[in-house]
Structure 1
Amino acid sequence: MPTQTTSNILMVRPANFGFNPETASNNFYQQQDKRGPQEINKLAQKEFDGFIGLLVEKGVNVLLVEDTVEPKKTDAIFPNNWFSTHEDGKVILYPMFSPNRRQERRTDIFEILMKKGYKISDIIDLTFFENDEQFLEGTGSLILDRINNVVYACRSLRTHLVPLAYFGRIMEYEVVDFDANQVVNGLVSPIYHTNVMMHIGSEIAVVCLDSITLASEKLKVQEYLEKTGKKMIPITAKQKFQFAGNMLEVKNSEGGKLTVMSEAAYQSLGQVQIQTIQRYTDIAVPSIPTIEKLGGGSARCMMAEIFLPLV
């Protein structure tokens, strides 16, 4: 029986966190900062350590990996974009939009996992799509309903249809794709990652339906969520800009469920939304303002879920 959540989370402690101009071209959540790179990285490390401390305190098993100093990788703190793991022992490597982010892919991480007793039966490498400028950025692009084998994805420069269909075929997932837009400085632009506007937990679905452009596609998403028994919690475009869609449900060692979201996301939610989530899971709230501001990613992006079986 497949599960939606895991208590095993891999996180990469940054060595050179900072603003990445390559990704900023279509990630409008990133903001530049006048502080020096060392100060910024130090602040990010402090926020990262606080986040790990919170998860450990809540009973989540965190596999901590240190980023390598060279080559410099400003976004190594977001490992969910370059790989995903699955209960049948598969690991998938994903094609990345930004050339400098491709340096984040590290096979030694899989050796670390195997040494800890996880079984990897197959590594499926989709990075060949980069040769044709076709991208699919892991669980940034893909919102996986692992229980029902449905994948939700908003089309963008980082989420192309050909690798998306390929993923659906090899993993036997039904694909629900759609256009999702946002208004930035008065201009309409595609949302770069699906996990900015959507989260699927065991029983809940947090989704910014307002961002889905076509009424027919909005209806399709709603129908799939209802059909698969998810309690829908709509969020507004304003809440989405505070990373309210960027959540992840994890388990602790006793099987208790936690929805992890940043302080910015939590503060943006209304009381009814919070109470609805708490009806199904506890909530864990790390404070990561530096990481959100310069990296343009939030709590979900920092956690790579380990679903691999133990040997």
Structure 2
Amino acid sequence: MQQTTNTILMVRPINFRMNEQTAVNNYYQKVMDSLLPASVNKKAQEEFDNYVSKLRSFGVNVVVVNDNNDFDTPDSIFPNNWISFHEDGTVALYPMFAENRRKERREDILETLESSGLKIENIVDYTSAEEEDVFLEGTGSIILDRVNRKAYCALSARADEGLFIEFCEDFEYDPVVFTANQTVNGARKAIYHTNVMMCVAETFSIVCLDAIDDKKERKNLVKQLKESGKEVIAITEPQVNCFAGNMLQVKGTHDKLFLVMSQAAFDSLTTAQIKQIEKHCEIISSSLDTIEACGGGSARCMMAEVFLPKA
């Protein structure tokens, strides 16, 4: 069982903009009045292409699929929310909160992966939960410790506890449930995705403990991570606002480990935090300013990890 993979699926946007349907509970999104929609999309494409080039230069195998014009899918750049891939050849499809994000699910993406020599044995489809207004947005909502079989989930409008428990039963993970909040106009509101405030790598975890207001939940989270042999590296709420929680460990050439993050996330880290991370692996950072501002997501959200076996 592996925690990290060398193969990443990414979707290149063609109509990227701020998604009004997700802004209702993603408080990281911003309106960029100074830019025309075409300019926003062009900037996002440039950031995407530079990011892919950077990952490939370190030996990460990036499978790029282009978004298409069939539907209006402004958030297609974040595929990790609707799909996850597992070592036994299982693919999971997830129910999405925003109606226009449901159109991101594309069968041809699975065909692309199969034609590149990967094997899909089984599809577990949770999408019918949308009919009950129940959501669980993939590895945005769920952080997987694949080796220790633990799944972490911060509950929110996009992460239903019942469905999360069902996922854990189906995929044989032990659930670790908590609530993570951020301050919005003086009020504490649920963080929309767990992967904004937490990342689990092979030997460490980056987490915003300040976001977990319930002391018992906070203590349990730290206990679960430490029991799994992870060094816990704490980040602050202002750092979360710079997407410092939205990171992913990947494998490059010769299975060398890297922690991938945006430039804004890297710039928010202290020297001490960078040293803590670099004890475990090197850092790759790339500028994603437009994507972060309009999309309210960052480096990790853009990567769907592919663990499928070779055919």
* Structure 2 partner of 1:175: 175
Contact 1:29–1:296 under 8 Å retained in 2: yes
Q: Residue 165 of structure 2 corresponds to which residue in structure 1?
A: 165
8 Å Cα contact 1:134-1:162 kept in structure 2: no
Partner of residue 250, structure 1: 250
Letter in 2 for 1:7: N
Q: Which structure 2 residues correspond to residues 72-151 of structure 1 after superposition, within 5 A?
A: 72-151=72-151
- How far did 1:123 drift? 0.6
Paired residue for 1:226?
A: 226
Unaligned runs of 5+ in 2: none
Aligned to 1:3: 2
* Whole-angstrom CA distance in 1 between matches of 2:90 and 2:286: 30
In 1, Cα distance between equivalents of 2:153 and 2:241: 18
Deviation at 1:70, TM superposition (A): 2.2
The 8 Å contact of residues 61 and 253 in structure 1, kept in 2 or not, is answered as no
- CA-based RMSD: 0.6
Deviation per CA, 1:184-213: give whole Å up to 9, x if none. 111210011000100000001000011112
| Aligned residue in 1 for 2:44 | 44
TM-score calculated relative to the size of structure 2: 0.99
**Match for 2:235: what amino acid?**
I
1:105 and 1:273 mapped to 2: Cα distance? 37
State the distance in 1 between where 2:220 and 2:255 align: 32
Residues in 1 aligned to 2:180 and 2:191: alpha-carbon distance in whole angstroms: 6
Query: Which residue in the other structure is 2:296 paired with?
Result: 296
Deviation string, structure 1 residues 77-105 (Cα, Å, up to 9, x no partner): 00000000000000000000001100000
Aligned residue number for residue 260 of structure 1: 260
Matched residue, 2:287: 287
Does 1:236 find its partner at 2:243? no
CA deviation map 1:40-61 (0-9, x unaligned): 1000000000000100111100
* Cα deviation 1:106-141 (Å, max 9, x = unaligned): 010000000011000101000011111110000000
Give the TM-score of the pair, scaled to structure 1: 0.99
User: Which contiguous aligned blocks of 4+ residues in structure 1 show a shift greater than 6 angstroms?
Assistant: none
Question: AA paired with 2:28?
Answer: Y
Quote how far apart the aligned CAs of 1:64 are: 0.7
Indicate whether 1:216 and 2:216 are aligned. yes
Aligned to 1:273: 273
- Structure 2 CA distance, aligned partners of 1:153 and 1:235? 18
| 1:5-58 deviation per Cα after TM superposition (whole angstroms, max 9, x unaligned) | 000001000010001111000000000112111111000000000000100111
Count residues with an aligned counterpart.
310
CA distance in structure 2 between the aligned counterparts of 1:164 and 1:195, rounded to whole angstroms: 15
* Secondary structure in 2 matching 1:283: strand
- Give aligned-pair identity as a percent: 49
Distance in 1, Cα, partners of 2:287 & 2:121: 36
Cα shift at 1:253: 2.9
Shift of residue 259, structure 1, vs aligned partner: 0.1
The alignment status of 1:305 with 2:293, answered yes or no, reads no
